[in-house]
Amino acid sequence: VSPRERGPADAGPDAVQAFLRFLAVVLLAGFAVGLARGFLLVQAHGYLGTGLQRMALLTATSEASRAISWAFAAALFVGVPALLYGFFRERSFAAAALPLALLPLHDLARRATASDPERIVRLFGPLGALVPEHARHGAALVAVAILALLPLRVILRALANARRSPLALPVTLAVVAALAPGVLHAVAARTGRPRGPNVLLITIDTLRADHLSAYGYPRATSPFLDSLAARGALFERAMTPSPRTTQAIASIMTSLYPQTHGVRTLWGNLGRERLTLAELFRDAGYATAGFWTTTFLDEKRGLSQGFDAYESTAASSDRAEHLTNRAIRWLSRAVGTRRDAARGDRKPFFLWLHYRDPHMPYNPPAEDRAFADPAYGGVFREACVFWPTKEIMVYNHLGLIGPADVAQAIALYDGEIRYVDREVRRLVRDVEKRGVLDKTVVVVTSDHGEGLSDHGYYFDHGDLLYDSSLQVPLVIAGPGVPAARVREQVALLDLAPTIARLGGVAWPVDGEGRDLGPVMARAAGPEGARAVAGGTTEAPPFFAESGENLLGPFNPHRHLPGIEGKLRSIRTDCWKLILSPQPNGARGLELYDLAIDPAETTNVFASQLAEARELEKSLDEFLAKDRESSESALSDVDAETREKLRAMGYLQ
């Protein structure tokens, strides 16, 4: 019997029944898919074998929540038009509003159950100020309990009514499926809340270690970082695995080399199956946030995984002060006042900031231009910019940039460092003001260095593998960190296991980095004194690869495109070997004796052949693990990313 023959009066409820049945099926399917995905992620992250069952539960349930949310949206997308069509055909306009009413309900349910009672606490909004916090927590717990018990009542009633209404059972099961992950998640998040220290991770783009006063630079560029280094560990030789932002940040977050985590270009994408530092902390019950200004760190890069809040402040300005302000606003909610912190009922936090200021163009605020020469009359006045074009400038092809221009550019670059140093001080002071600095591990580092005319490479990074681009500052201070100057070579890949342990959580998967705890302890002890006195260390060799070839034929060091054409290097405490692939399978090889030639000016490959061959063998073994054969072509880049590349001077 078709609806038309039965008449408009019966058609409405019939369409509603069909819609609800459809919704139930889709939600159940979403629940099943989410659980399966959660299980696969738990396996991929290795949570089960490491006693991190609570994190396994959190991962599985958050995956299920997410899948149900998607399923609900998909069901509405398909089902609502169908339902509306049915209603309009049968002229039952009033009931057509029903599916639309489900939209806010879904959002409320999702917010109430997505993670833990603190989410519900926030739903109280401005009323929260009038109700004491412990009362709000109590109310939130009651709300969670009601949400947990409600399905039970509904199930019982549905079972009793099952014979009368064929719809009751599937709808009830779907409601239970939708609420279950949220409730489990809330329970898992409440049990065994971590007390571990907070983590404040600060990466400053394009920051050369040797331009910080803490590293012996004659200009007072970094008074605050110097004071931080004085009470913590300073790493004299910290290295990035790729002198480009996206690749380096992905290595910091995953403890993997670019050829393993798979981000090989600025516009590369980190796969969801990779465990990141932010995911680890969020799953361990931390409040997590990432704030940044660099274009390439947007959600498409996959680096947002694990962050409760992930935002760029670039829309208003990419200046450091805006980033600091954003982070302080977040801290005022996550940490609260000194009194809130003293009560000790807040989650610990993992907060990451990526400042961009020392990156080209070098254009510090007026008060940080003191290093610049006021009488200078060359090509860089207010700011050092790519001039006249990036291609011509980066290798100074036309010889337009002279020593006075380089000096002025460096003075402006140093001014940017001084400016960021002040902003980092303001941020750390804010943490101190809230009474939690003694419970906070502060890590300051960079994604890569900068050419600054060394090796004929002007004001850029990414193409060459000399230490001016590979070496980054690294300072760690806070609970569990001894005061030490660490001489042995370390890498950004070491940060994830090190920071995880300092935060009281074990890094559960096999990374390619190492926990620097023992390294810091050695450096702080009598052994460290010996190492500083000139002995070599047992640091593992460290590998690096250049970025994508953005300058094309303007780059005299790059002979081949794609992943096969990337420059590669292996570095020990004493030696560095750089490989530049040439046409017809030939190899360009440079060897530097870092002990006597730290500026890498004399290629000793021919005279130190035995050493070179041994390093080449290790490098080849490492490269054999690189399964990707070709860099994603620039034509694969979507229009928006292409526009960003152009805006930043990476493309013309």
Stretch near Zn ion under the rule CB under 5 A, chosen from 14-22, 336-344, 373-381, 444-452: 444-452
Residue closer to Zn ion, measured from CB, 233 or 410 = 410
Whether 308 contacts 289, CB under 8 Å: yes
Surface-to-core class of residue 486, CB atoms within 10 Å of its CB (0-12 exposed, 13-18 middle, 19+ buried): buried
Between 423 and 447, CB nearer to Zn ion? 447
Element (H, E) at 530: helix 526-532
Residue 326 neighbours by CB under 8 Å, 6+ apart: 291, 311, 313
**Do residues 231 and 444 make contact, with C-beta atoms less than 8 angstroms apart?**
no
Those residues with Cβ within 8 angstroms of residue 233's Cβ, 6 or more apart along the chain or in another chain? 475, 476, 477, 481, 482, 483, 484, 485, 486, 516, 520, 523, 524
> Quick one: 449 or 513, whose CB is closer to Zn ion?
449
Give the interface segment with Zn ion, choosing from 177-185, 259-267, 363-371, 441-449 (CB under 5 A): 441-449
Q: At its nearest, how many Å lie between Zn ion and the CB of residue 294?
A: 6
Q: Which are the contacts of 171, defined by CB distance < 8 A and separation ≥ 6? A: 20, 21, 23, 24, 158
Helix, strand, coil shares of the chain, percent, nearest 5, are 50, 10, 35
CA 413 to chain centre: 25
416 binds Zn ion (CB under 5 A): no
> Least distance to Zn ion from the beta carbon of 366, Å?
25
Sheet of strand 575-581: strand arrangement: 542-545, 568-571, 575-581, 587-593
- Nearer to Zn ion by C-beta: 34 or 449? 449
Which residue in the set 62, 115, 245, 546 belongs to the binding site for Zn ion (CB under 5 A)? 245
For residue 477, what is the enclosing H or E element?
Answer: strand 474-477
Comparison of 114 and 551: residue with beta carbon closer to Zn ion: 551
SS3 34: helix
Closest contact distance (angstroms) between CB of 205 and Zn ion is 4
Q: Which is nearer to Zn ion, 172 or 304 (CB)?
A: 304
Pick the closer one to Zn ion by CB: 205 or 368: 205
CB 628 → Zn ion: shortest distance, Å? 22
Q: How far apart are CA 320 and CA 424, in angstroms?
A: 9
Tell me the window of 242-250, 315-323, 482-490, 578-586 that interacts with Zn ion (CB under 5 A).
Answer: 242-250
- Residue 245 Cβ vs Zn ion, minimum distance, rounded to whole Å: 3
CA dist list (Å): 475 to 121, 178, 328, 484: 37, 45, 21, 10
Q: How far is the CB of 230 from Zn ion (least distance, A)?
A: 27
**Residue among 255, 264, 245 nearest 356 (CA):** 245
Binding to Zn ion in span 179-208, by CB under 5 A? 205
| CB nearer to Zn ion: pick between 247 and 324 | 247
Nearest approach, Cβ of residue 346 and Zn ion (Å): 32
Nearer to Zn ion, 208 or 514 (CB): 208
Q: State the number of binding residues for Zn ion (CB under 5 A).
A: 3
Which among 75-83, 244-252, 361-369, 581-589 is the span making contact with Zn ion, rule CB under 5 A? 244-252
The distance of closest approach from Cβ of residue 292 to Zn ion in the complex, given in angstroms and rounded to an integer, is 11
Nearer to Zn ion, 19 or 292 (CB): 292
Copy the structure tokens of residue 113: 């159950």
Residue from 447, 463, 488, 573 binding Zn ion (CB under 5 A)? 447
CB of 329 to Zn ion, least distance (A): 25
Say whether 243 sits in a helix, a strand or coil. coil
d(CA 298, CA 312): 8
The closest residue (CB) to Zn ion is 245
CB closer to Zn ion, 308 vs 545: 545
* Span of 38-46, 285-293, 447-455, 514-522 interacting with Zn ion by CB under 5 A: 447-455
**x/- map, 513-552, Zn ion, by CB under 5 A:** ----------------------------------------
Q: How far is CA 114 from CA 41, 56, 562, in A?
A: 18, 16, 42
Nearer to Zn ion, 205 or 548 (CB): 205
Q: Find out whether 476 and 501 touch, Cβ atoms under 8 Å.
A: no
CB of 550 to Zn ion, least distance (A): 13
Copy the structure tokens of residue 487.
Answer: 């001489």
468, 450 contact by CB (below 8 A): yes
CA 108 to chain centre: 29
Q: Which window, 243-251, 254-262, 369-377, 557-565, contacts Zn ion (CB under 5 A)?
A: 243-251
Closest contact distance (angstroms) between CB of 356 and Zn ion is 8
- Contact string 620-639 vs Zn ion (x = CB under 5 A): --------------------
Q: Which residues of this chain interact with Zn ion, rule CB under 5 A? A: 205, 245, 447
